[in-house]
């Protein structure tokens, strides 16, 4: 069986305005690898592993595990990378983190792919906890690696996360499994039955342009139960449905994901370039 690549804390490459890609819970920066070739030619792309995840930094000392603690460390990571503000792109937990970063003034724009953070009732939150706990228990089984890497059983094992599990290379899949195994934040934040987890507070889209792109085949946080409440909390954002992709859409259709990102970043950057001469004239 192939071994996963050496664990690294982040990825950075490219030139242009900065784009920061944020992964979902139990994952790492490597979840974005299929999309990177389409973005690095247009942007300075920084992909950190979030705090509490395999290869990433720990939370600040004495921090209570949760979204705010992850955001605090991400601010430090951007500071260390010399990035004051960026286009923030997040999947699942990463989408929630991106919106919270925007509240802190660190976003030029936000693109969220099936972002976490909203639910209609507590039973919907408990459903997610049970789903991830079941997955975590399965990861502990020595049989899972064989099941997940066997083409005949891969769809059954991974069909909830990906619409096209066959598009995940074996070596990447093993790395994703180990990311799931070694996610300290999962145990700390979700292992307590969700106590202390509060949904996303209402978001003011005047802070920056926001686009929410929901995966049509999302079986983890389907739009009906989790996307509609998000639409109510982030009023005025652009919402769209992405055809043919699952909860982690980067492997299912990397070109579609990159195109969705670039549509937003190109528009915002073009508007900013038009505003600069106007600001200079007003200043003069």
Residues marked active site are found at: 92, 218, 247
Among 249, 268, 256, 253, which residue's Cα sits nearest to residue 23? 249
Q: What are the C-alpha distances in Å from 207 to residues 65, 201, 238, 239, 242? A: 26, 14, 14, 17, 25
Beta-carbon contacts of 136 under 8 Å, excluding residues fewer than 6 positions away, are 26, 180, 181, 186
Helix or strand run (H / E) with residue 240: strand 238-242
Question: Where would I find the H helices in 105-215?
Answer: 122-139, 144-149, 151-158, 170-181, 184-185
């Amino acid at each position: 069986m192939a071994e996963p690549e050496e664990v690294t804390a982040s990825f950075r490459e490219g030139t242009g305005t900065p784009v920061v890609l944020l992964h979902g819970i139990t994952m790492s920066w490597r979840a974005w690898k299929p999309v990177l070739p389409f973005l690095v030619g247009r942007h300075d792309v920084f992909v950190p592993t979030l705090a509490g995840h395999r290869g990433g930094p720990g939370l600040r000392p004495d921090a209570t595990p949760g979204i705010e603690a992850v955001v605090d460390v991400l601010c430090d990571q951007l500071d260390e990378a010399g990035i004051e503000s960026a286009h923030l792109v997040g999947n699942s937990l990463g989408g929630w983190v991106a919106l919270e970063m925007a509240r802190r003034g660190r976003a030029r724009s936000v693109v969220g792919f099936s972002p976490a953070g909203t639910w209609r009732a507590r039973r919907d939150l408990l459903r997610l906890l049970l789903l991830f706990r079941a997955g975590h228990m399965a990861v502990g089984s020595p049989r899972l690696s064989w099941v997940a890497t066997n083409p005949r059983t891969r769809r059954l094992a991974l069909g909830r996360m990906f619409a096209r599990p066959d598009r995940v290379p074996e070596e990447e899949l093993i790395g994703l499994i180990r990311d799931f195994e070694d996610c300290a934040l999962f145990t700390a934040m979700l292992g307590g039955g969700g106590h202390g987890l509060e949904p996303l507070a209402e978001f003011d889209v005047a802070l920056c342009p926001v686009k929410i792109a929901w995966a049509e085949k999302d079986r983890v946080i389907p739009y009906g139960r989790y996307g509609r409440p998000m639409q109510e909390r982030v009023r005025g954002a652009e919402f769209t449905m992405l055809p043919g992709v699952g909860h982690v859409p980067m492997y299912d259709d990397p070109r579609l994901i990159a195109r969705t990102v670039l549509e937003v970043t190109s528009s915002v950057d073009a508007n900013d370039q038009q505003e600069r001469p106007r600001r200079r004239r007003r200043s003069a």
